[in-house]
Amino acid sequence: MKFFEVYRQKLLKITKGDQQVSGPIERILLVQLGDIGDLVLSIPTIRSLKETYPSAHLTVAARDKASDLVNLCPWSDDVLEIKKEKLTPGDWVGHQYRFFRALRSKPFDMVIDLRTGTRGAILTFLSGARIRMGFTALEETWRNYLFTHLVYPPMNMPMLHMAHYHLLLLDRYGFDVNPQWPRLRIDEKRARDISDLLNRENVPLTMPLIAIQPFSLWRYKEWRPEKFRQLVQWILSSFPVGVLVCGTRSERSRIKRMIDGIPAGKVFNMAGKTTISQYAALLARCRLFIGCDSAGVHIASAVETPTATIYGPSSPKSWAPRENGHVVIQKAMDCVPCREKGCRGSGRSECLEKLSVDEVVAVVEPLIAAWV
């Protein structure tokens, strides 16, 4: 990864802590309280930690909606699920006390927080670990006092992929970094779960499958549902394949409206029918993933399913899979990528509004034709 070698030389100075991490390391906690895609893109960091300390017990702390994916990461030994619950003041105190006792019952030698948020910093401090490592917060700087080892976050690195961003933190302290791309390994149980699901949904198992995820956590990243509908209709009229339209349980009704009227038997509404780890197993069964900038593209890439991702204002240079077999679809406009949350605060992105079905078809058609 030559580009990683370039950026590792540009990391800014250490603000706190020794050049090297010393002393015995038997238990490690890695804290990643971002969204699902953030957790997937942290896998190279998890892998590098395990390869640096192969005999250490490595626990990953992740939000409950993403934590099940840790079970598919072969370099993690355990997962600490962080729930965001609405509790009364009395229940909250009891919940926090029980969580603190459970956290301190497993004495960690080193805790690494991959984000600069408040909750991760407090979790890191409460762990009582001898080494508490993270990036310097440029806002809410009080949290910096909770760490023993800090590094300024990399700046002005537009070509640095987020899968390798955190590796610069480890590299600066002398860890053995492995800048590979994220990988998730599907176990036999989840593979069987997906076979059973496809049977229940009457999906022909001999038919090549294409997964489409039309929606995102952020509406300003979404292509219009009616355009996705036209894309599905074109795929089904052009190739002998099945289309699995995927999403969360809350998106099931939106997907139903999107595919309503398309002849049954080749298009299937799979929204909300899997856990997040089962979703990874489902995408591993597909020949192609098509979707907007969302967690789905990172999961598909991690299980080595080719992807075609529709980008709007986000920068694919920082987020899109870079391995062979992955393509980016983005409208050629002077303002793209603007990295804004919609044009002029509207929550809608003109670059996605103006992206036509024909432009997407032109990219997708050769990908499908290559294996149909």
Residues 143 and 285 in one domain: no
Q: Which strand (E) or helix (H) includes residue 290?
A: strand 288-292
Q: Are residues 209 and 140 in the same domain?
A: no
pLDDT of residue 49: 96
Say yes or no: 44 and 85 in one domain: yes
Same domain, 81 and 160: yes
pLDDT at 214: 97
Per-residue pLDDT at 101: 78
The answer to whether position 179 is within a domain reads no
Q: Provide mean pLDDT across the span 250-268.
A: 94
Better-predicted residue by pLDDT, 98 or 186: 186
Q: What CA–CA distances, in Å, run from 242 to 28, 218, 270, 326?
A: 44, 27, 12, 20
Residues 364 and 229 in one domain: yes
Give the pLDDT band (50/70/90) at residue 94: low
Q: What is the pLDDT, as a whole number, of residue 7? A: 56
β-partners of residue 39 are none
Least confident of 2-6, 126-130, 170-174, 354-358: 2-6
Q: Among 172, 207, 231, identify where a domain stops.
A: 172
Closest among 311, 325, 297 to 359, alpha carbons compared: 311
pLDDT value at residue 193: 97
**Average pLDDT, integer, range 57-69:** 96
pLDDT of residue 240: 95
Residues 273, 200 share a domain: yes
What is the spatial distance between Cα 197 and Cα 195, in angstroms, rounded to a whole number? Answer: 5
pLDDT tier at 90, thresholds 50, 70, 90:
low
Tell me whether the omega of the peptide bond preceding residue 337 falls within 30 degrees of 0, making it cis: yes
- 361 neighbors 231 (Cβ within 8 angstroms): yes
Measured CA distances, 330 to 85, 128, 313, 322 (Å): 38, 46, 9, 15
Average pLDDT, the chain: 90
Q: At what angle do helices 252-259 and 225-238 cross, to 10 degrees?
A: 50
Name the nearest CA neighbour of 184 among 305, 32, 52: 305
Q: What is the rounded distance in angstroms from the CA atom of residue 116 to the CA atom of residue 184?
A: 25
Are 235 and 363 contacting, i.e. CB atoms less than 8 angstroms apart?
no
Whether the per-residue pLDDT at 14 is higher than 70: the answer is no
**Tens-place pLDDT, residues 290-335:** 999 999 999 999 999 999 999 988 889 889 999 999 999 999 888 8
Residues 31 and 86 reside in one and the same domain: yes
* Residue 242: CATH number of its domain: 3.40.50.2000
Span 337-361, pLDDT tens digits: 888 888 887 778 888 899 999 999 9
User: Mean per-residue pLDDT for 212-234?
Assistant: 94
Shared domain for 285 and 328, answered yes or no, is: yes
| Domain span at 132 | 2-172
Classify residue 251 by its DSSP letter.
G
**Residue 80 C-alpha from the chain's centroid:** 17
Weakest mean pLDDT among 17-21, 142-146, 339-343? 17-21
In this structure, the answer to whether residues 166 and 217 fall within a common structural domain is no
pLDDT in tens, 21-54: 888 999 999 999 999 999 999 999 999 999 999 9
Give the strand order in the sheet containing 288-292. Answer: 267-269, 242-245, 209-213, 288-292, 307-311, 326-330
pLDDT at 87: 60
- Is the C-alpha dihedral spanning 16, 20, 26, 29 positive or negative? positive
337 and 249 within one domain: yes
Same domain, 158 and 255: no
